[in-house]
C-alpha cells in the first residue's frame, strides 16, 4: 500500500487533484456499479459500467480510474485490482497500462437540431487528435436522415476535420443507425483496441434499429463507446430522452458519457477522451470453464485503496457473452 500512496502522490504533484476519502476506518473497495443512465459532465464527474466479450480463452477488461475531477489516476498495480466473474473472484493473470494504438470512429449528429451547436462541434476533434499517436486511425460517420460514411479509416486525422467543414446540418436524426454503421465499420480496424465517439444532442427520431438492439450489439462488441451529449434547451421528446440514450450506449460498451451545456467545453472533453484512451489499465483473466456458451456473464471490477487516498472513480465493463466452443 505504501507503493500505491507514493504513486498517487506523484500523480497529485503532476496536477491531479481529488476529494478526500469519505471514510478513515480502513481500505475501501471501489467498484463499477450498474448505474443505468448515469452520465459524466464535461469535467468527468460520475460514471457507469459496460460490457466486454471473451477473446479466445482470456477475458481482457479495459479499466479507467479517474479522480473526482475526471483526471486519470496512474501508478496503480495489479494488487490494487480485484475482478469477479459473476460472483466468483478470478486471478488477474495479465496486467498492463495500455498505450497501444487505437482505432476510432467519430459518429457525428448532423441533424437539424444540431444546427446552433455545429459550428463549435465540428472544430472540437482537433483537441482529440492532439492526444493521439501516429499509429492511431479514425473514420467519420455523419447522421441525419440516414447515416453516411464520410471518410474511411485514415491516420491523416486532419482529413476528417476537412471533411467536417463541408457538412451542413439538416434533416431528421437516425443516430442509432449511425452507431450500427460505426460498429460494423469497426470490423475493418487495423488496431485491436477500438472506440466510437458520438457527438449528439441524443435525440433519435428516424432509426430502423432500437436502443435495445444496439445495446446488445455493443455488449457483444469489443468497441468502447464514448459519447458527448450537448444538452442545450431541449425542445422535443427525443432531445429530452437523449442523455439516457447516450448513457446506455456508453454503459454497455465500456466508455463514458459526457454531459455539457457549453459548446466551448467540447474542446476539453475531446482532449479528456484522447488522454483516457491511452491511459487505461488492461486486466486479463481466465473465466470459469463451466459458463454456458452464448450466455451473458457479469463482470465486477474493484479497486482496493487505503484510507486517506482521494476518492476515485472506476470505469470498467460489466459483462461479456460466452463464446461458442
pLDDT digits (tens, 9 = 90+) for 86-104: 899 999 999 998 788 999 9
Length of the chain: 325
Reported as a pLDDT band with limits 50, 70 and 90, residue 239 is low
Average pLDDT of the chain is 79
Predicted confidence at residue 226, as pLDDT, reads 94
CA distances from 12 to 18, 19, 43, 154, 253 (A): 8, 11, 17, 36, 29
Question: Is residue 40 a contact partner of residue 47, using CB atoms and an 8 Å limit?
Answer: yes
Least confident of 2-16, 57-71, 99-113, 282-296: 2-16
Predicted confidence at residue 21, as pLDDT, reads 32
Predicted confidence at residue 234, as pLDDT, reads 60
Q: Is the pLDDT assigned to residue 181 strictly greater than 80?
A: yes
Predicted confidence at residue 238, as pLDDT, reads 67
Task: Determine the 3-state secondary structure of 257 from DSSP.
Answer: strand
Question: Is residue 82 a contact partner of residue 298, using CB atoms and an 8 Å limit?
Answer: no
Render pLDDT for 33-45 as a digit per residue (tens, 0 to 9): 333 333 444 444 4
**Domains of the chain as residue ranges with CATH:** 2-99+279-321 (no CATH), 102-277 (3.40.50.410)
Q: Containing H/E element for 267?
A: helix 266-277
Q: What share of the chain is helix, strand, coil (3-state, %, to 5)?
A: 30, 30, 40
Amino acid at each position: 500500500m505504501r507503493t500505491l500512496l507514493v504513486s498517487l502522490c506523484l500523480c497529485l504533484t503532476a496536477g491531479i487533484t481529488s476529494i478526500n476519502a469519505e471514510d478513515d476506518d480502513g481500505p475501501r473497495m471501489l467498484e463499477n456499479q450498474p448505474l443505468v443512465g448515469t452520465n459524466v459532465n464535461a469535467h468527468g464527474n460520475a460514471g457507469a459500467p459496460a460490457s466486454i466479450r471473451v477473446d479466445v480463452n482470456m477475458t481482457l477488461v479495459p479499466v479507467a480510474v479517474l479522480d473526482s475531477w475526471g483526471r486519470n489516476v496512474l501508478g496503480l498495480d495489479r494488487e490494487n485490482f480485484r475482478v469477479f466473474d459473476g460472483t466468483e473472484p478470478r486471478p488477474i493473470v495479465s496486467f498492463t497500462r495500455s498505450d497501444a494504438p487505437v482505432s476510432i470512429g467519430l459518429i457525428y449528429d448532423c441533424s437539424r437540431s444540431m444546427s446552433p451547436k455545429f459550428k463549435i462541434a465540428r472544430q472540437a476533434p482537433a483537441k482529440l487528435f492532439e492526444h493521439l499517436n501516429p499509429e492511431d486511425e479514425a473514420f467519420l460517420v455523419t447522421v441525419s436522415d440516414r447515416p453516411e460514411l464520410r471518410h474511411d479509416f485514415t491516420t491523416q486525422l486532419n482529413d476528417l476535420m476537412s471533411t467536417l467543414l463541408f457538412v451542413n446540418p439538416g434533416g431528421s436524426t437516425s443516430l442509432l443507425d449511425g452507431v450500427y454503421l460505426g460498429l460494423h465499420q469497426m470490423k475493418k480496424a487495423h488496431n485491436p483496441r477500438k472506440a466510437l465517439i458520438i457527438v449528439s444532442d441524443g435525440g433519435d427520431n428516424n432509426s430502423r434499429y432500437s436502443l435495445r438492439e444496439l445495446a446488445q450489439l455493443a455488449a457483444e462488441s469489443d468497441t468502447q463507446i464514448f459519447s458527448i451529449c450537448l444538452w442545450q434547451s431541449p425542445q422535443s421528446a427525443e432531445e429530452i430522452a437523449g442523455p439516457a440514450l447516450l448513457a446506455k450506449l456508453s454503459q454497455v460498451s465500456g466508455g463514458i458519457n459526457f454531459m455539457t451545456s457549453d459548446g466551448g467545453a467540447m474542446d476539453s472533453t475531446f482532449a479528456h477522451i484522447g488522454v483516457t484512451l491511452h491511459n487505461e489499465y488492461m486486466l486479463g483473466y481466465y473465466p470459469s470453464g463451466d459458463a454456458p456458451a452464448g450466455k451473458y456473464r457479469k463482470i465486477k471490477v474493484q479497486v482496493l485503496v487505503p484510507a486517506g487516498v482521494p476518492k476515485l472513480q472506476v470505469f470498467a465493463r460489466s459483462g461479456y457473452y460466452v463464446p461458442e466452443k
